[in-house]
Structure formats: C-alpha cells, structure tokens
Amino acid sequence: MKNILVSGGAGFIGSHLCTRLVNEGHHVICLDNLFTGAEANIEHLKGNAHFEFVNHDVEFPYHAESLDEIYNLACPASPIHYQYDAIKTIKTSVLGAINMLGLAKKTNAKILQASTSEIYGDPVVHPQVESYWGNVNPIGPRSCYDEGKRCAETLFMDYHRQNNIRIKIIRIFNTYGSRMLPNDGRVVSNFVVQALKNRDITIYGTGDQTRSFQYIDDLIEGMVRMMNTEDEFIGPVNLGNPNEFSILELAEKVIQLTGSKSKLVFKPLPHDDPKQRQPDITLAKKKLNWQPTIELEDGLHRIVEYFRDYRYID
Ligand code: NAD
Ligand code: UDP
C-alpha cells in the first residue's frame, strides 16, 4: 500500500484517479479547493478509511509526513473556468507546481505533472510529437493556462536536474467522461447537455477545427502506467486518442446518438482557438505499452447515459 496525494482530486479526472488508486488498496489524500471540483465527485470515497479529503489551495504550501507518490492535477481546465480569474489560474499552475515539488523533495515522493496538449498552442506540426516546442501566444486570453502549464513543465525539469526529484510529465489531450459538470463549458459536455435538453448546439466558428477525444478510462490507465515506469523515463509523454474529428462531426454524432431535435447555431470562434489537434502516441505505445481502447461513439454513448441520469437534467 502506497501513500498517494492527488491535487485536484475532486475534479473530473482527479476523482476517477482517486477511485482507481483507492480500489488498488492505496491510501489517498485528495487535496482540492473545490473551485471546479465537487464533493459529489468523491462522495462514494468519503466513508473509506483509506481516503482523506483536504480542502486546500495549492497556491499555498501543504505539509505531509510521508508520501510515496504525488499526482499534480490541481488547475481549472475548461477555458471559461481558467479565464474567469486568469491571474489565479497561472498562480495555481506555477505556485502549485512549486509547492507540490517542494513536498516531493521533503518526502522523497515521485511526482507526476498533469500537463496538456495546450502547451503545443495552435500547432503547426501535425500530429503533435513530444519533441515539438509548440506555437503558443504568450499574451492572449488562453496564455494563463498554456504558459502556466509550460512553466510548470520547466519547474518539473529543473527540480529534477537540480534536486534529483523523480518526476513524470504527461501531456493530456482532450478528455471527456462521467463527472464532468453540466456547466463545465468544454465541447463534449456542452453538446451532450444541449442535445439532451433539445437546446441549440453551439458551434464556435465554422466547426471545421479539429480535436481528438479520449475517454476518461483510457487516460486513467495511461496515467497510472506512466507513474509506474522506471525512474529513468520521465517523459513528457502524450496521452490521447489519435482519432481526429471536426467539431461539426462531433455535433452530428451527438445529435444522432441522442435522437435530439437540437439545431446547430454558429457563434464567434474564441480568440486563439487552436485549429487542429491530434496526438502522436508512438512514445506512449512504446514506453507504457498503452493505447486507447474506447472509441468516440462508445465513449459518447457512456457520457450520454451519465448526463441522462444526472440530477440537473430536466
Ligand atoms: P477539473 O476542472 O474538473 O479539475 C481540476 C480540479 O482542480 C478541480 O477539482 C478544482 O477544484 C481543482 N483546483 C483548481 N484550482 C485549485 C487550487 N488552486 N488548489 C487546489 N485545487 C484546485 O478539470 P480536469 O479536466 O479534471 O483536469 C484535471 C487536470 O488535468 C488539470 O490540471 C488539467 O489542466 C489537466 N488536463 C485536463 C484535460 C482534459 O481534457 N480534461 C486535458 C489536458 C490537461
Ligand atoms: N467548442 C464549440 N462549442 C462549445 C464549446 C467548445 O464549438 O460549446 C469548440 C471550441 O471552440 C474548440 C473545441 O470546441 O474549438 C474544443 O473546445 P474545448 O473548450 O472543449 O477544448 P480546447 O479548446 O481547450 O481544446
């Protein structure tokens, strides 16, 4: 049994990760300030003697006696949420990374950073390989998130080089699944909730821009495999589903699956919205023996069922 800390553990991805780690028999401390997370996401773990929830903001140091592993996930991930208080977002990424790395140093824990495909910005190399340095606007409305995450990667590398901290960096591509909040604002949850309510489906721009959507269970498997690799392998490694779809194709699939009467409406494209995104997962296949197993239609079917049962859907 390991002592594992998950920052951002009450969020969408974090709550699935906490569940997996508790089920494997580990002791899990979930650190979260509940900005975009929800206690409902971890309700099922609360009675478990091997699960602790601590309401804490990672902008401030956290003390723990003994830890084997830290997963650093704390950070709002949906554009509407990370742009709500941009300064807070960058502090969460940068100070959060410093505080979690400091904790790893004190406890000699191994630490994994939940980085993002956003570090590639609006990519001119396609699909994106880990060796690509990206095309990020440093002064735009998305920069608080993109540059915060880039700086966090730099901090991880420097703590590793300077202090021999055992680190792992994963770059997560668009992930969806149960426990996303209906007001999360990201495209899959927006479209599914809109379709179930027969409301207009909001396409930003022409809908020709692409994303590659990964189901949550595939990501969790990849994350845990990455944490368990030999110390020499630190990444960064892409974790995503390489099947690429336009946003219009996604909308059509959601309408078809739900049998919705929703119509498509076109809204302005947000500033700096990346035109294309697709992971090259050669490295993950080789080093983690991992690749996604859940394709979009199957994953969409699951999230549709989740939101159908969700108590706020009328
Ligand atoms: P989420 O918003 O559901 O989860 C983030 C969690 O972090 C929430 O529970 C939130 O309350 C918590 N948090 C935010 N600021 C905090 C702070 N200052 N102190 C403590 N807790 C704080 O988003 P998610 O999709 O679960 O993303 C989790 C992580 O994975 C994030 O770091 C995100 O950048 C990364 N990621 C996610 C995706 C994706 O597609 N879901 C893609 C790339 C990277
Ligand atoms: N998007 C959209 N309608 C929505 C929400 C998002 O057309 O209601 C588009 C958005 O402009 C982007 C893509 O869907 O091109 C993915 O957006 P999301 O916020 O999910 O993720 P990110 O842009 O961070 O990859």
- For 82-114, what is each residue's pLDDT tens digit? 999 999 999 999 999 999 999 999 999 999 999
Among protein residues, the one with the nearest Cα to ligand 2's atom 25 is 174
Lowest-pLDDT range of 70-79, 115-124, 302-311? 302-311
231 and 217 in a common domain: yes
Please tell me the predicted confidence (pLDDT) of residue 293. 98
Q: Which of 211, 249, 303 to mutate to test the pocket of ligand 2 (most atoms within 8 A of CB)?
A: 211
Determine contact, residues 277/120, Cβ cutoff 8 Å. yes
pLDDT at position 313 over 70:
no
Q: Which residues contact 238 (CB under 8 A, 6 or more apart)?
A: 117, 128, 129, 130, 170, 171, 173, 279, 280, 281, 283, 284
pLDDT at position 310 over 80:
no
Please tell me the predicted confidence (pLDDT) of residue 31. 98
Average pLDDT over residues 169-184: 96
Q: Which of 109, 104, 89, 99 is nearest to 149 (CA)?
A: 89
Mean pLDDT of the chain: 97
247 and 234 in a common domain: no
pLDDT at position 52 over 50:
yes
| SS3 assignment for the chain | CCEEEEECCCCHHHHHHHHHHHHCCCEEEEEECCCCCCHHHHHHHCCCCCEEEEECCCCCCCCCCCCCEEEECCCCCCHHHHCCCHHHHHHHHHHHHHHHHHHHHHHCCEEEEEEEHHHHECCCCCCECCCCCCECCCCCCCHHHHHHHHHHHHHHHHHHHHHCCCEEEEEECCEECCCCCCCCCCHHHHHHHHHHCCCCEEEECCCCCEEECEEHHHHHHHHHHHHCCCCCCCCCEEECCCCEEEHHHHHHHHHHHHCCCCCEEEECCCCCCCCCCCECCHHHHHHHCCCCCCCHHHHHHHHHHHHHHCCCCC
User: Of 221, 239, 257, which marks where a domain is finished?
Assistant: 239
**Nearest ligand for residue 195 CA:** 2
- Domain count for the chain, please give it: 2
Please tell me the predicted confidence (pLDDT) of residue 312. 53
Please tell me the predicted confidence (pLDDT) of residue 311. 56
Lowest-pLDDT range of 180-189, 292-301, 302-311? 302-311
Whether 84 is catalytic is no
Q: Is residue 288 part of a domain?
A: no
pLDDT in tens, 179-211: 999 999 999 999 999 999 999 999 999 999 999
pTM: 0.97
300 and 264 in a common domain: yes
Q: Which residues does ligand 2 sit against, CB inside 6 Å?
A: 78-79, 174, 186-187, 190, 202-204, 209, 211, 247, 270, 273
**Nearest ligand for residue 11 CA:** 1
Average pLDDT over residues 278-307: 97
Report the CATH number at residue 162: 3.40.50.720
Please tell me the predicted confidence (pLDDT) of residue 309. 86
Average pLDDT over residues 244-263: 98
Please tell me the predicted confidence (pLDDT) of residue 314. 47
Q: Is residue 147 part of a domain?
A: yes
Q: Is residue 145 part of a domain?
A: yes
pLDDT in tens, 232-241: 999 999 999 9
171 and 122 in a common domain: yes
Average pLDDT over residues 70-86: 98
128 and 204 in a common domain: no
144 and 259 in a common domain: no
pLDDT at position 290 over 80:
yes
116 and 230 in a common domain: yes
Q: Is residue 48 part of a domain?
A: yes
72 and 25 in a common domain: yes
pLDDT in tens, 33-42: 999 999 999 9
Q: Residue 165: which domain range?
A: 3-175+213-239
159 and 262 in a common domain: no
Q: Which of 120, 145, 159, 176 is catalytic?
A: 145
55 and 26 in a common domain: yes
Is the Cβ atom of 14 under 6 angstroms away from ligand 1?
yes
Q: Is residue 282 part of a domain?
A: no
Q: Is residue 305 part of a domain?
A: yes
Q: Is residue 283 part of a domain?
A: no
Q: Which of 16, 19, 29, 36 to mutate to test the pocket of ligand 1 (most atoms within 8 A of CB)?
A: 36
Average pLDDT over residues 286-292: 98
220 and 207 in a common domain: no
What is the percent of the chain where pLDDT is above 70? 99
134 and 257 in a common domain: no
Q: Which of 75, 153, 174, 216 to mutate to test the pocket of ligand 1 (most atoms within 8 A of CB)?
A: 75
pLDDT at position 67 over 80:
yes
Q: Is residue 109 part of a domain?
A: yes
